[in-house]
Structure 1
Amino acid sequence: MNISMDDLHLFVLTVQHGGISAAAKQQSLQRSKVSRRLQELEKSLGCQLLIRTTRKIELTENGRLLYQQINQPLTGVAQAAKLLSNQQKSVQGVLRVAVPAALITSNMFALLLEKYLEQFADVQLEVLHCQESIDLKRQNVDIQILPDGVKVQNEDYVQQTLLRFPSSLVASQQYLQSHPNITELSELTHHPLMVSRYNQASLPDNLTLRLCSDDLRLIQHMATTGKGVALLPTILVKDALKSGELSQVLVNGPLPEIKLTLIYPSKQFLPEKTRALITLLRDSFTENNIS
């Protein structure tokens, strides 16, 4: 790790004067040069310090930590730099993950987090319930998982498709025995449907919706208790279908898929704790591992 004290000084000036341009003016330097040296400092430390916008700069959590340490006597500067570098390389600390309610309630996701915690005992996981895209940097969240169709707030963030989950129409045997047969999609008009907002748009408009929820477990419960026909990811109802608790409707019909997207701020400044969970997500959310 080779840290330039001049670059640290420019970082302090940038924070104190509220921007790169002001710091450059104070030092009689070109703005581009100051910006480049700040990037070099970030590269040396292995983490992002500043969020740059057209009008101002903001400190990341790492940037605030460094600035607080630099305000101490100069002997603490090297310790602050070492602290940040070690923090990025070690698999420890707090890891914040934002996921939709549908994923929080799935056994598959719970088992994945359980596996992560078993492997990395020094990491504290914080799982946040988020239905919409958030600004990961400003809200200090490391990873977000969103279904397809939800617009990502910051297009500069890394976005990777994890897997397409096929859906099934399901109902209880009790319900199917007491209602008209369903042999084609158009006949669903005679049945109350229960869907999530992620697959609602893919169905015909003339269908009767009994329930629309982000909680897929709630939809499955309603189907199991005979309240109607539910459209759910096949992986979620696999055990219920096997046990006979639910039965599949329109097995060969064209049904929508739910695609999960993995989102994180940057490939360049990726702490090892974050990289480890991303690797586990990629390895786990594949056709071979969830079949």
Structure 2
Amino acid sequence: MSQLDDLNLFLMTVRHQGISAAAKAAGMPRSRVSRRIQELERTLGCQLLIRTTRHIELTENGRMLYEQILSPLDTANQAMLRLKERKMQMAGSLRLAVPAAVGSSERFINMIQLYMQRFPKVNLEVFYQQRSVDLQRERIDIQLLPSEAEVINLDYVRQSLLPFPCCWAAAPAYLARYGRPEDEGDLQNHSLLASRHIAASLQHDLSFRFRTDDLHLVQQLTCQGMGIGLLPKVFVQGAGEDCPLELLFEARGAIDVGLSLIYSSRTFMPEKTREMVELIRETFSHLG
């Protein structure tokens, strides 16, 4: 890479007709450019430039080298410029993999809506995935995972988000018909509903009548009086007036479900991905 840089400086020196002008264009001290070209000449074993007080001239070897590298280096420089522009561009596609329970939540949906409003030229794709995927091979930019899930590539960046507090809740109609449980020990006498992930995270040995990956479905069945639901508190609070739910056990939390943010690299992250990462952090920093 050092020799390629030196060749590029040589190319700029010829184009700008002088080391001082080339140094200014490259944003480098003149002495450094001069030293790098001298190092290139030592490496190649021949003189490339004839330096005079006012300008430079190419030697025969210098002219041959210039003609040979002109087109390839121009192509390489244009390609690097396009890559830099693409990295900063807020356009193209952005692919996310998330658990279905998260992807169907109102908080996540509102976040996606906000991103689409801010960056109308970015095309979003959201995939439901409970297990870690190879982000680079699957061309996934960001993944949200349950905190206890193993990440397939330990080189990926993993950041913990605030956990979802989950609690037991039921519709008034269900409690009127089947009675209100006094404590968690009474739950085994009731019909229990939960997402697969939340149910698997629970330490208590309970039998669930219904499990799914869709938290909205658990919420709706709980509202309809089909059982006692184990739901994130935000799902209980956001059920709405047409679906009143009562928190059980004095709103004491049953479990905190953790969530991790996964992406492949901090260094080469496109700006559109960086914006989504920041938005995810903001969205899931106050779960209540």
Q: TM-score, normalised by structure 2?
A: 0.71
- For 2:113, what is the secondary structure of its paired residue? helix
Shift of 1:204: 5.4
Residue identity opposite 1:214 in structure 2:
D
Q: Which residue of 2 aligns with 1:20?
A: none
Asked if 1:256 corresponds to 2:255, the answer is: yes
Q: Which residue of 1 aligns with 2:167?
A: 168
Is the alpha carbon distance of 1:254 and 1:284 closer, same or farther for their aligned partners in structure 2, counting shifts above 3 Å? Answer: closer
Q: Per-residue displacement from partner, 1:183-231 (whole Å, max 9, x unpaired)?
A: 1110101101111222213445542311111110111111111111110
Residue identity opposite 1:211 in structure 2:
F
Q: Which residue of 1 aligns with 2:184?
A: 185
Q: Which residue of 2 aligns with 1:268?
A: 267
Q: Which residue of 2 aligns with 1:286?
A: 285
Is the alpha carbon distance of 1:189 and 1:247 closer, same or farther for their aligned partners in structure 2, counting shifts above 3 Å? Answer: same
Shift of 1:240: 2.3
Matches within 5 A, 1:49-128: 75-128=74-127
Is the alpha carbon distance of 1:84 and 1:204 closer, same or farther for their aligned partners in structure 2, counting shifts above 3 Å? Answer: closer
Is the alpha carbon distance of 1:198 and 1:205 closer, same or farther for their aligned partners in structure 2, counting shifts above 3 Å? Answer: same
* CA distance in 2 between partners of 1:241 and 1:123 (Å): 32
Aligned length: 225
Shift of 1:284: 2.1
Is the alpha carbon distance of 1:96 and 1:3 closer, same or farther for their aligned partners in structure 2, counting shifts above 3 Å? Answer: farther
- For 1:237, what is the secondary structure of its paired residue? helix
Matches within 5 A, 1:146-165: 146-165=145-164
Q: Which residue of 1 aligns with 2:135?
A: 136
- For 1:146, what is the secondary structure of its paired residue? strand
Residue identity opposite 1:231 in structure 2:
L
Unaligned runs of 5+ in 2: 7-70
Is the alpha carbon distance of 1:78 and 1:98 closer, same or farther for their aligned partners in structure 2, counting shifts above 3 Å? Answer: same
Instruction: Give the percent of matched residue pairs that are identical in Structure 1 and Structure 2.
Output: 37
Verify the 8 A CA contact 2:167 2:252 in the aligned structure 1.
no
RMSD, aligned α-carbons: 2.5
Shift of 1:248: 1.2
* CA distance in 1 between partners of 2:250 and 2:151 (Å): 33
Unaligned runs of 5+ in 1: 8-71
Q: Which residue of 1 aligns with 2:22?
A: none
Residue identity opposite 2:76 in structure 1:
V
Q: Per-residue displacement from partner, 1:114-162 (whole Å, max 9, x unpaired)?
A: 1111111221111112111100011111100112222111111111112
Q: TM-score, normalised by structure 1?
A: 0.71
* CA distance in 1 between partners of 2:272 and 2:183 (Å): 48
Residue identity opposite 2:247 in structure 1:
Q
Q: Which residue of 1 aligns with 2:68?
A: none
* CA distance in 1 between partners of 2:284 and 2:219 (Å): 21
Q: Which residue of 1 aligns with 2:207?
A: 208
Verify the 8 A CA contact 2:223 2:243 in the aligned structure 1.
no
Shift of 1:251: 2.4
Bigger-Rg structure (1/2): 2
Residue identity opposite 2:256 in structure 1:
E
Which range moved further: 72-81 or 241-250?
72-81
Q: Per-residue displacement from partner, 1:231-261 (whole Å, max 9, x unpaired)?
A: 0100122132766621111125451111111
Find runs of 4+ consecutive structure 1 residues off by over 6 angstroms.
none
